[in-house]
Chains A and B, each alone.
Chain A
Amino acid sequence: EVQLVESGGGLVQPGGSLRLSCAASGFTFSSYWMHWVRQAPGKGLVWVSHINSDESKIDYADSVKGRFTVSRDNAKNTLYLQMNSLRAEDTAVYYCARRSGPAFYYNYYCDLWGRGTLVTVSS
């Protein structure tokens, strides 16, 4: 079955760190760009970051730049999001998503999403 499963969320204090994982299965993970998108409780979707197949192209939203780091392990079919210096406004469900389209294209839509993992930043 083609799927993405996020894990690693939880309760963390402001200023703390957390690493999210996204396990991919049912497709050739190493061939796809991957994205992180978040959704604060009761709010809309916000794009966080993306990474290409060999980690040579990475972008971040300004709100997380310098604090979050995206990476991947193609041998383990897993995407990561290292989140440091967490703030209350980072509280959200974090989704990983597979980007469709050929690897050499920079911009494309996401066609597969995981169910998300909840990160709560609170003292």
Chain B
Amino acid sequence: DIVMTQSPDSLALSLGERATINCTSSQSVLYSSNNKNYLAWYQQKPGQPPILLIYWASTRESGLPDRFSGSGSGTDFTLTISSLQAEDVAVYYCQQYYSTPYTFGQGTKLEIK
């Protein structure tokens, strides 16, 4: 199984600050035949289901504010929120869909300082 590890486990920042969440996979999730990274990011607010933010490591889901961006390739990925807003308080998960079982990172809890 591919193990996904996120860092940090939690993050407390002030409004307007930049948030950076890292995700590392135990093996590459880059599929060489199409040069796509099989990596997604989800946001989950308390009591709500996850919402897709980013797929193919860097493609923003339709309607997502452009302060959210994804980057990285192979085994190392980053979710960045350029200017933290109050509504961004949530737990963020990365997930690989390169191979089953489609494993998630343990989650990063983002709070306002």
Contacts from A to B (Cβ < 8 Å): 35, 37, 44-47, 50, 59, 61-62, 95, 100, 107-116
A114 to B51, CA, bound (A): 10
**Taking the complex as formed, is B77 at the interface, i.e. its CB lies under 8 A from any CB of chain A?**
no
Interface of A (DSSP majority class): strand
The B27-85 residues at the A interface (CB cut-off 8 A) are 38, 40, 42, 44, 48-52, 55-56, 61
- CB-based A-B contact count at 8 angstroms: 57
Besides A112-B52, A113-B50, 10 new A-B residue pairs in contact (Cβ under 8 A), listed by A number: A46-B104, A47-B101, A47-B104, A59-B100, A61-B101, A62-B101, A107-B98, A108-B97, A109-B40, A113-B49
Closest to B44 in A: A45
Given the known interface contacts A111-B61, A113-B49, A116-B49, the answer about A44 and B107 at a Cβ–Cβ threshold of 8 Å is yes
**Taking the complex as formed, is B103 at the interface, i.e. its CB lies under 8 A from any CB of chain A?**
yes
A100 to B54, CA, bound (A): 13
Given the known interface contacts A44-B93, A45-B95, the answer about A107 and B38 at a Cβ–Cβ threshold of 8 Å is yes
The answer to whether A113 touches B55 (Cβ under 8 A) is no
Residues of A contacting B51 in the complex (Cβ-Cβ under 8 angstroms): 113
Closest to A107 in B: B97
Interface of B (DSSP majority class): loop
Total contacting residues, chain B, CB less than 8 A: 25
Select the residue from A37, A107, A113 with max chain B CB neighbours within 10 A: A107
A14 to B101, CA, bound (A): 25
A110 to B51, CA, bound (A): 9
The answer to whether B48 touches A115 (Cβ under 8 A) is yes
The answer to whether A47 touches B50 (Cβ under 8 A) is no
Residues of A contacting B50 in the complex (Cβ-Cβ under 8 angstroms): 37, 45, 95, 113
A61 to B38, CA, bound (A): 18
Residues of A contacting B38 in the complex (Cβ-Cβ under 8 angstroms): 107, 109
